[in-house]
Structure 1
Amino acid sequence: MTMLPFPEAPQPTPEDTEAGRKLFAGPVDFVKGVVAMSGLPPADRLEICFAGRSNVGKSSLINALTGRKALARTSNTPGRTQEINYFDVGEKLFLVDLPGYGFAEAPVAVVRQWQALLKSYLSGRATLRRAFVLIDMRHGIKKVDEEILDLLNKAAVTFQVVLTKADKISAAQRDKTLDQVRKALAKHPAAYPELLVTSSEKGEGIATLRAIIATMQ
């Protein structure tokens, strides 16, 4: 039997599932919003970051992951939309929420400023262990997503694709999207070789994502 490239992440063991549950059942607090590299908190623990184009469901996923209904909204108030937002998870790791990319209507200067900050962060943060790149399952990988994937490749940052809104499509659509994503990722050496399919609304994939994060070294 031929193994598919970029298979879906396997179900975690009961032990890893419990480790993930315990990690996110503890305190998760907003730390700060950062607009320059000089404002980053001390690099004294592992970091993971979440990236995705606007309206991909990033806030919903972070809220489902942490079990908080409005945690991500803390970082989405006016004036914070172009910041890198830090959350402390049980004083064990930083969860980093990157602003949605794909600024079709944003001023050119704002886009340049954000792109420069993003590049500096991705290439210069030694404690960043993995980037989770969110892709809307209804649309697959688009050109704007390719830009961030290329950036992660150049920065040599391992990234894992998390497909969102799995409850919004049919089984046939799901297979079609997975095929498109697998083909697109084949040219990205920094891509982690497992996909994660999620639904924030239905809870699909959330326990697996928690376990993946909790067992990262």
Structure 2
Amino acid sequence: MTDVGSATDWTEAGRKLFAGPCDFFFAAAKSDGLPPVGPPEVAFAGRSNVGKSSLVNALTGRTGLARASNTPGRTQELIFFDLHGKATLVDMPGYGYAAVAKSKSASWGRLIQDYLRGRPSLLRVLLLVDGRHGLKESDHETMRMLDAAAVSYAVALTKRDEVKAADREARVAETLEGLSKHVAAFPEVLFTSARTGDGVAELRAHIARLLAERGAGAGGAAKLG
């Protein structure tokens, strides 16, 4: 692990990291169609309609970078975005939508499992969980998949603005308790709102620190200056 120093201002590093351009460059529907390994990757996963696209847009400061489908479960591909050569953001298909055909759901499962198990540049999955409801069984299923693949992941709660202020601390505590049952989970929970911007700076800082600590040995150096 790279020694990045305890005095680093990670909020400022995160701001600088996401201040540059971020552009779509690849979509993969099959595991044998993934792009070549390049800069360090951070992937975003979550239930359908969790607000994943909105949060990716808020992080990058782009209103239409990640596009949400009007039909939950429609997106079937891994979508890759180039963060000005310093990192790759990967938007993963949503899960947990009952109306999706089992055959299609199984296909998504194979694509995701193959990606998780065979992608050396993947540093961490950010698992987005609806802050209004907390962890669901489908979230735990995904976390068990990540545990089995030995992929580090962290939970970011979404829709903070729709949760009463008096309930937020308890929701974070409940989520941390749920994470304690999973071996690959990072022991931290971020509470975000794409609409108000709450928690976005903290999530950028989380990613900047991750890249600084682990990025240099994961398919390319991540210089945040």
Output the TM-score relative to the length of structure 1: 0.88
**Which residue identity is paired with 1:190?**
A
Partner of 1:122: 116
Alignment partner, residue 147 of structure 2: 153
State the percentage of identical aligned residues. Answer: 49
Partner of 1:43: 37
Matches of 1:156 and 1:179 in 2, distance apart? 24
1:199 aligns with 2:199: no
Unaligned runs of 5+ in 1: 1-11
1:142 and 2:136 equivalent? yes
Kindly provide the CA deviation profile for residues 71-110 of structure 1, in whole angstroms up to 9, marking residues without a partner as x. Answer: 101x759997100000000111110000111130011110
Offset from partner CA, 1:23-55 (integer Å, 9 cap, x none): 211110101110112221111210000000011
User: Aligned residue for 2:88?
Assistant: 94
* Match 1:168 to one of 125, 149, 162: 162
Name the aligned partner's letter for residue 129 of structure 1: L
Q: Does 1:32 align with 2:26?
A: yes
Give the counterpart of 1:19 among 10, 13, 18: 13
What is the alpha-carbon root mean square deviation over aligned residues?
Answer: 2.0
Q: TM-score, normalised by structure 2?
A: 0.85
Preserved CA contact (<8 Å) 1:33 1:80:
no
- Once residues 146 and 8 of structure 2 are traced to their aligned partners in structure 1, the CA distance between those partners, rounded to angstroms, is 32
Gaps of 5+ in 2: 1-5, 215-225
The residue number in structure 1 matching 2:220 is none
- Kindly state the Cα deviation for residue 22 of structure 1 after the two structures are TM-superposed: 1.8
Question: Alpha carbons of 1:44 and 1:111: their partners in 2 closer, same or farther (altered >3 Å)?
Answer: same
Question: How many residues in Structure 1 have an aligned counterpart in Structure 2?
Answer: 205
Does the 8 Å contact 2:58/2:197 carry over to 1? Answer: yes
**C-alpha distance in 2 between matches for 1:20 and 1:51:** 20
